[in-house]
Amino acid sequence: MKNNPDAIIIGAGVIGVSTALELTSAGLKVLILDRGSVASGTTSAGEGNILVSDKEPGPELDLALRSRNAWFELDEAIGGGFELEAKCGVVVARTELGVGKLRRLTTAQRQHGITAHDICSDELHELEPNLSPSIEYGTYYPQDAQCQPMLATARMLSSIKNRGGEFISGATVTGILVQGGRVSGVVTNRGRFSAPVVINAAGTWAGPIAELAGSYLPIAPRRGFILVSVPTRPLIFHKVYDADYVANVASNNSDLQTSAVVEGTKSGTILIGASRERVGFRTGIDFTVLRILAQQAIELFPILSDIQLLRAYRGFRPYAPDHLPVIGEDPGIRGLWHNAGHEGAGIGLAPGSAQLLSDGILGKSSFMSSDAFSPSRFTAELAK
Amino acid sequence: MIINHQILVLGGGPAGLNAAKYAANAGADVGLIDSGVRLGGQYWRHTGDISVDHAMHHNFDQGSLLIDAVLTNPQIKVYLECQIWSVSIVNDSIVLRSLFQIFQTQKLIIATGAYDRSIPFPGWDIPGVITAGAAQALLKGSGVIAGKNIVVAGTGPFLLPVAAGISRHGGNIVGVLEAAYKTSWVKGITTLIRSPFKIVEGFGYIKTLRKNKVELRFGHAVTAAHAGADGLLESVTVANIDRNFNVKSTYSLKCDVAAISWGFTPDTSIAGALDVRQRVNHDGSVIIEVDDDQRAIQSNALIEIYAAGESTGIGGSELALAEGAIAGLAAAHDPGISNQLRKLRRRAQKFAHTLSKVYPVASGWQSWLTSETLICRCEEVTYQTVREAAEELGAIDARGAKLMTRCGMGMCQGRICGRSISDLFDGNQVDRIQFASRPIITPITLGELAQEGLL
Amino acid sequence: MITFTFNGVELFAISGQSVSAALLTNNERITRYTRINNSPRGLFCGIGVCFDCLLIIDGKPNQRGCITMVQSGMTVEIQK
């Protein structure tokens, strides 16, 4: 690198690259490092969800709503090419208890700016003709959207490169340089790089990166599987999932939680997510999990019973104990910023998180307070 | 229903048959699983009609003897038409799932063989362009000649028996085009001399072709295929190529079938799911790494996985038989693996290695591609799209290209295009191995997956 | 000899043949049209690996003609 960058971003996933794009737009010169290539971690292992429907009122919902709109602005700004689609969500409830919970959630969400139409049988089956006839209640979320995260990240990265930013793949960070409580650069297998600002956007692997600087982030992997069908004629037209999914996302149980999220894609395949398990970085495929996902998907859409499964893949979502992302400056090391721990919502939350972090670095006021996401919330835990 | 066997052998070709036979003779209780309707694999594929089969194969005696030995052995239970869709390790046992059965064992012998290697070229998706293996399977398995005017092309010793077989049974071969240069045979001649059987076999094919006035050209390849108004293959462009596969001159050849193969690709689909160590062979294919007893390397001490035949590297039937025998004996914990057997294997390995040097696939094939040429047949991804992923989106490997363009993501799960995409990116070991891993080996319906009792 | 139908037309086949072999014998080379470009496809690898010879067999889509044995009375259709 001829000139020292203004900021080094560790991780070329959707979070790191959208942060770098935000900083580039603000006039900073960025250097992005990744031990793999662009979007080679969790970013490429998800469905590309940009959801507001699955969030309970609170700071994460505010962040999700801003991000959702920012995705559409970004689509305009960089000329598209990442399959952004206002796919819309349909959340269904199958039990009386579920209906009650869903109606309470939508009432609260509407007060926070979410468009959520409570719908009944006829409307529901008009939206999704193949939905099980036994399902009578649901909510329609027109703001839920979707993109192809790999392409989105790659397109953002090429926009950054066009504006003078740099990316080095295959660069594993082995050390973070700190002098007098201030970060000064990083050490990698590809050399040493100096910058006054270092951003930890290493996702599921953000904990070990924080450790390199002598800091602490309790981010751990939560394993998820996704089933992919063979291409079919269009059968499912929105993102459809059971209201129980919201409870699963927020669950603190380490056991397996599954709640099928079913959707058709432009390529003709049907995707079925999403399991959540805390089993570390366990490799291999657990066929019990796949079976449960298939069962739940068929309960929603009986027609899927005859559709063939083609592939299954796995990803590790980065989660923090309180399920909120970590966005902000390290409490102990000046100039070290974290943007990680977005769990299964990283694609959806990326542009908002990037904006929040960038505003923080530049000392500007932002669209919302980042207090709830502050890395300092773990300091008390560390003291124990 | 859960079926237990001391040893399970997956694949009923030469390696799997011999593994089952040797393990059973050593006293083990063996289950032999194959997806086909008859044993024999691709090599000894047959119709089941004895008179036809002996006419189709120049040397079917060895195969039918071995198949009979396996079928009549009370220690071996054979499961045919049994397509395994997934394999995993559950509670320190190896579990294999087919649609109707679940198999459980502590010892698995992988003998899943190989399939024809294809490389993309303009028009390779036109109906009528097939692999040499497809032409062979039609002839040996169904007694059908693939077309009226057939070109056989590509590289490797397999082209000769395919062309000779078709010719002998009345098919019209309009040309056999071997990409390797005739002079390159000299490189391997010392080893070839040590395997007189192979020499005799090869001369037999050439004699058949000569007798039927079939032209055999070295240093030539099919570099494009062209469809007629009906969308079917009408002609191919034949190129005189240099040793790097660059085109020197071309001519057109009319045909309704072009049977083209560039050697073989080992089928190691299940190795990834079992966390078995794989590596990239000298020819760029992904193979299962094995020790001197054909034992694969994996971390669970309570199970044993062996591999034999083409899944450990392309080597032909003699090597497959030797590896199968050793794997069978080793899995049965028989101490009597003879030095003679190991010597036989070493000789066959050497022969295979020499052959692969005689028939290299040089990188010049990439110059045959046009921007519209499909790289991935399933998802219809063109060369231009793949190049854009590399140049504009920063894809540096096959995995990146797959996630950005969907190449290798379709129904065949990259079995056909994976190796070529890795070659286009000059992919590293990890990338090639990752691309060859397919935890869902073959599609099953979600309804079947949802059934209880799956493990 | 047995009979099966291809796109509603009755064809002859020999028992024990694959569907692909039976179709070729009857001079039928196209098994499907592709999803994106609507291009014709037929037999390619011949041994169940490439998924190009996909057909609708007895009402089930995505069946590989090369590894399915032809049966008397089978209905086979081009997949689009």
pLDDT tens per residue, range A224-271: 999 999 999 999 999 999 887 766 666 666 667 778 899 999 889 999
CA B32, CA B50: separation in Å to the nearest integer? 23
What are the residue boundaries of the structural domains of chain A, listed by start? 7-50+149-219+322-383, 89-142+220-319
CB atoms within 10 A of CB B158: 21
Which residue among B394, B413, B445 places its CB closest to the CB of A158?
B394
- Identify the H or E element spanning B61: helix B60-71
What are the residue boundaries of the structural domains of chain B, listed by start? 2-115+265-337, 118-262, 369-435
Q: CB of A335 within 8 A of CB of A363?
A: no
The predicted pLDDT at position B193 comes to: 62
Of B364, B371, B410, nearest to B388 by C-alpha is B371
Which residue among B400, B403, B443 places its CB closest to the CB of A310?
B443
Say whether pLDDT at A179 is over 90: yes
Say if A309 is an interface residue toward chain C (CB within 8 Å): no
Q: Do A310 and B396 touch (CB under 8 A)?
A: no
In chain C, which residue's Cα lies nearest the Cα of B144?
C21
**Residues in chain B within 8 Å Cβ distance of C78:** none
Of B378, B445, B437, nearest to B412 by C-alpha is B378
Say if A132 is an interface residue toward chain B (CB within 8 Å): no
Which residue among C21, C35, C50 places its CB closest to the CB of B144?
C21
Whole-model pTM? Answer: 0.93
CA B161, CA B44: separation in Å to the nearest integer? 13
Q: Do C46 and B415 touch (CB under 8 A)?
A: no
- Give residue-wise pLDDT tens across range A277-293: 887 878 778 888 999 99
CA B85, CA A132: separation in Å to the nearest integer? 28
To the nearest whole Å, the CA of C24 is away from the closest chain A CA by 26
The conformation of residue A197, written as its DSSP 8-state character, comes to E
Say if A310 is an interface residue toward chain C (CB within 8 Å): no
Please provide residue A295's backbone torsions phi and psi, each rounded to the nearest 5 degrees: -60, -45
Say if A311 is an interface residue toward chain B (CB within 8 Å): yes
Q: Across chain A, what does the average pLDDT equal?
A: 93
Q: Do A230 and C62 touch (CB under 8 A)?
A: yes
- Give residue-wise pLDDT tens across range C11-26: 999 998 999 999 999 9
Structure tokens at B164: 């000779």
- Give residue-wise pLDDT tens across range B389-444: 999 999 999 999 999 999 999 999 999 999 999 999 998 899 999 898 898 999 99
Say whether pLDDT at A296 is over 90: yes
Q: Which class is B2-115+265-337 in CATH?
A: alpha beta
The predicted pLDDT at position A259 comes to: 81
Between A267 and B288, the more confident residue is B288
Of A225, A259, A256, nearest to A240 by C-alpha is A259
To the nearest whole Å, the CA of A85 is away from the closest chain B CA by 17
The predicted pLDDT at position A249 comes to: 61
The predicted pLDDT at position A384 comes to: 54
Q: Do A150 and B447 touch (CB under 8 A)?
A: no
**ipTM of the prediction:** 0.97
CB atoms within 10 A of CB A218: 17
The predicted pLDDT at position B110 comes to: 98
The predicted pLDDT at position B338 comes to: 87
CA atoms within 13 A on the CB side of B129: 31
Say whether pLDDT at B353 is over 90: no
Average pLDDT over residues B150-157: 95
Q: Across chain C, what does the average pLDDT equal?
A: 96
Q: CB of B328 within 8 A of CB of B109?
A: yes
Of B99, B18, B94, nearest to B294 by C-alpha is B18
Say if A369 is an interface residue toward chain B (CB within 8 Å): no
Say whether pLDDT at B53 is over 80: no
Of B1, B100, B19, B86, nearest to B320 by C-alpha is B19
The predicted pLDDT at position A247 comes to: 65
- Give residue-wise pLDDT tens across range B232-267: 999 999 999 999 999 999 999 999 999 999 999 999
The predicted pLDDT at position A246 comes to: 66
Amino acid type, A189: N
The predicted pLDDT at position A257 comes to: 76
- Give residue-wise pLDDT tens across range A55-91: 999 999 999 999 999 999 999 999 999 999 999 999 9
Which residue among B392, B404, B447 places its CB closest to the CB of A306?
B447
Q: CB of B311 within 8 A of CB of B114?
A: yes
Q: CB of B125 within 8 A of CB of B229?
A: no
CA B13, CA B35: separation in Å to the nearest integer? 11
CA A341, CA A218: separation in Å to the nearest integer? 9
To the nearest whole Å, the CA of A229 is away from the closest chain B CA by 8
Which residues is B237 bridged to in the sheet? Answer: B224, B252
Say whether pLDDT at B279 is over 90: yes
Of A107, A143, A138, nearest to A123 by C-alpha is A138
CATH topology of domain B118-262: FAD/NAD(P)-binding domain (3.50.50)
**Residues of chain A above pLDDT 70, percent:** 95
Say whether pLDDT at B68 is over 80: yes
Say whether pLDDT at B129 is over 60: yes
Which residues is A120 bridged to in the sheet? Answer: A137
pLDDT confidence of B174, banded at 50, 70, 90?
A: very high
> What Cα–Cα distance (Å) separates residue B239 from each residue in B117, B130, B153, B216, B246?
20, 18, 11, 14, 9
The predicted pLDDT at position B152 comes to: 98
| Residue given tokens 């001490």 in the structure block | B301
In chain C, which residue's Cα lies nearest the Cα of A230?
C62
User: Is the N-terminal amide bond of A274 cis, ω within 30° of 0?
Assistant: yes
**Residues in chain B within 8 Å Cβ distance of A315:** none
- Identify the H or E element spanning B351: helix B339-358
- CATH superfamily, domain A7-50+149-219+322-383, is FAD/NAD(P)-binding domain (3.50.50.60)
Say if A268 is an interface residue toward chain C (CB within 8 Å): yes
To the nearest whole Å, the CA of C62 is away from the closest chain A CA by 9
> What Cα–Cα distance (Å) separates residue B188 from each residue in B92, B180, B204, B353, B354?
45, 12, 19, 9, 5
Say whether pLDDT at B132 is over 80: yes
- Give residue-wise pLDDT tens across range A92-105: 998 888 899 999 99
The conformation of residue A373, written as its DSSP 8-state character, comes to G
pLDDT confidence of B191, banded at 50, 70, 90?
A: low
**Residues of chain B above pLDDT 90, percent:** 77
Q: Do B377 and C62 touch (CB under 8 A)?
A: no
Average pLDDT over residues B25-42: 95
Average pLDDT over residues B327-335: 94
Average pLDDT over residues B64-72: 95
CATH topology of domain A89-142+220-319: D-Amino Acid Oxidase; Chain A, domain 2 (3.30.9)
| Residue given tokens 């669209």 in the structure block | A367
Which residues is A308 bridged to in the sheet? Answer: B445
pLDDT confidence of A134, banded at 50, 70, 90?
A: very high
Size of interface A-C (CB pairs under 8 A): 4
Q: b/e string for A305-325 if b means 16 or more Cβ within 10 A?
A: bebbbbbbebbbbbbbeebbb
**Residues in chain C within 8 Å Cβ distance of B372:** none
Q: Which CATH number fits domain C2-78: 2.40.70.10, 3.10.20.440, 3.40.50.300, 3.30.420.40?
A: 3.10.20.440
CB atoms within 10 A of CB B247: 16
Which chains have 3+ CB pairs within 8 A of C?
A: A, B
Of B197, B202, B199, nearest to B178 by C-alpha is B202
